[in-house]
Amino acid sequence: MISKIAKTTLGLVLIGSSSVFAQSLADAKKAIDAEQYQKAKSMLKNLTTTQADKDENFFYLGWVYVKQDYSDSAKVAFNKGIAVNPKSGLNYAGLGAAAFIDKDRATATTNFNQAISLAGKNVKPFVYVGKAYLLPLTADGKVTKDDASAALAVLQKGKVVNPKDVELLVTIGDAYRSQVQSNEAYAAYSDAATLDPKNPNAKVATGVLWKFANNFDGAETQFKDALAIDPNFGPAYREWAETDLRWATTDPKMASEKVKQAADNYKKYLSLTDLSVESRMRYADFLIQAGDFKTLQVEATALSQAANSNSRVYRYLAYSAYENKDYPAGLTAINTWFQKAEPKRILPRDYLYKGRLEIASNQDSVGINTLKKALELDSTQTDVYSEIAKSLFRQKKYVQAGDAYRTATLKAGRSVKLTDYFYEGISYYYGYDVKLPNADTLIVRADSAFSYVMAKSPTTADAYLYRARVNELKDKDRNNIVGYAKPFYEKYIEVVLAKGAPDDKTKKALAESYAYLGTIYEFKEKDEVKAAENFNKAKENDPANKQAAAYFAKKTK
């Protein structure tokens, strides 16, 4: 028996080291595809020792570091690969990818060009330069049009070298999908699946395509097909979880069920990975997407106590603490993250949460500047305009608040709320001072803002009240009142009375309205009957109304 085993072993050795290497590297690549990064790293570190003359080993080790966002470690591995083989197109593609995630575009381009020049008939440098261009750099994971175009240009050149490379075709599909070119993406994924029906990546990629088309049943079918090919293919469960989450947000009737399924599928994904810090951090990203900040805070706290914890955990601690209103803990965490992280690792969203935490901690002026930094870095975070305006309003910097709300209504697009227009108007009203050089402009802007609210929500009584007050400011000559506010006070009364019995606060506003109308009838219209009628109503609603009291005191003399 021992002799038989020995002969078998000897036979394997005699087959040649290249066969053993190829199988081992294939296993490592399979682990990378399955997002079992710790397992892949362990295998590849062993390969870089036992097969130190193979530049591919160093490339795939570096690529794992790229996927985990450790660019410095990635560069070390790629440079070792180039030392082994100075003509390694793959490792130059890797150096380009590492520079790309460091936002060093010039170095990235130089290395990408070198990779392609050395590629020859090897399609993989084309594939990985394409993949590098698709690495997300923004908080929302979106790929810019220019980067997607650059990826496709390289990938199409690779297709000339080898039109049947499945990884190339899936990457082409990914590039098209990033720009919502669904037909082209589907064609590429279909070609990949036809060439290799047992490839789970092509199935999962098609499922993701259906997810973004809100074809949730079709997406689930693709994920199930991928798992039928490989029951341990974790990314299928991860994408299935994210599909469930999207389903929950688009179909309220399914929300509760799909959120639970999303959590279950993500747990299955985690169970199929190596439960490394990086896998758990990806779970943290999922929890942010799911809006489950309570679970995120628990997970982030546990991660922070791990021996090999990544400093990025402080980002998650800060986000979750803010959303859970644990502001002191959040401020401490975000400051720690800013202290520990390299500047290139700071996201615009980090500045957003830092600013929010500073404002919540009564550091409004500092917080506003931080929010402005967030906007400077990512102008798409349009809801920040309203947050800045709200903080300025709270500080009673009314004209600045009005300007900020105005910016919000002009730039914030779909995130603009009707209350933003209302507070734009009220800010300018409170900030009005006849001594200001732009006093008339403030009146015009306030009037316009309230006019918009009235048009969109005709039953919002306060819009009429404040528009009346703003128009009252136009009557600067008290000896020659025009009565600009009259129709708005009248409309305010009409809208309020239609809603039923007014509360005490509304009664005071009604008294204000009737008193104004009484003044108009007394001095402008010269109608004493209507003047007395309106002043009586003012007194009924608010016996302490000064204008009504003055009117009746004058009449008793």
Q: Token digits for 11?
A: 């036979």
Q: Is the pTM of this model over 0.85?
A: no
- Percent above pLDDT 90 for the chain: 75
Whether 537 shows a pLDDT value over 80: the answer reads: yes
Whether 247 shows a pLDDT value over 60: the answer reads: yes
Task: Tell me how crowded residue 414 is: count the other CB atoms within 10 A of its CB.
Answer: 6
CA 151, distance to chain mean position in Å, is 23
Label residue 140 exposed, middle or buried (CB < 10 Å: 0-12, 13-18, 19+): exposed
Buried b (16+ CB within 10 A) or exposed e, 259-270: bebbbebbebbb
pLDDT of residue 138: 52
Whether 18 shows a pLDDT value over 90: the answer reads: no
6 falls in which pLDDT band (50, 70, 90)? very low
Segment 123-141 shows an average pLDDT of 85
Phi, psi (deg, nearest 5) at residue 20: -65, -40
Closest C-alpha to 352, from 379, 314, 312: 379
Closest C-alpha to 349, from 315, 314, 322, 321: 315
19-57: pLDDT as tens digits: 333 458 999 999 999 999 989 999 999 999 999 999 999
- Amino acid at residue number 209: L
Q: Taking all residues of the chain, what is their mean pLDDT, rounded to a whole number?
A: 90
Q: Is the dihedral of CA 367, 370, 376, 379 positive or negative?
A: negative
307 falls in which pLDDT band (50, 70, 90)? low
Segment 198-221 shows an average pLDDT of 95
CA 379, distance to chain mean position in Å, is 12
Q: Token digits for 422?
A: 């209302």
pLDDT of residue 361: 95
473-510: pLDDT as tens digits: 998 776 788 999 999 999 999 999 999 999 999 999 99
Range from 220-234, 242-256, 271-285 that averages highest in pLDDT: 220-234
Q: Token digits for 40?
A: 């892949």
Whether 268 shows a pLDDT value over 60: the answer reads: yes
103-113: pLDDT as tens digits: 899 999 999 99
Domains of the chain as residue ranges with CATH: 459-557 (1.25.40.10)
Whether 2 shows a pLDDT value over 60: the answer reads: no
Packing angle, helices 124-133 and 145-161, rounded to 10:
170
pLDDT of residue 254: 86
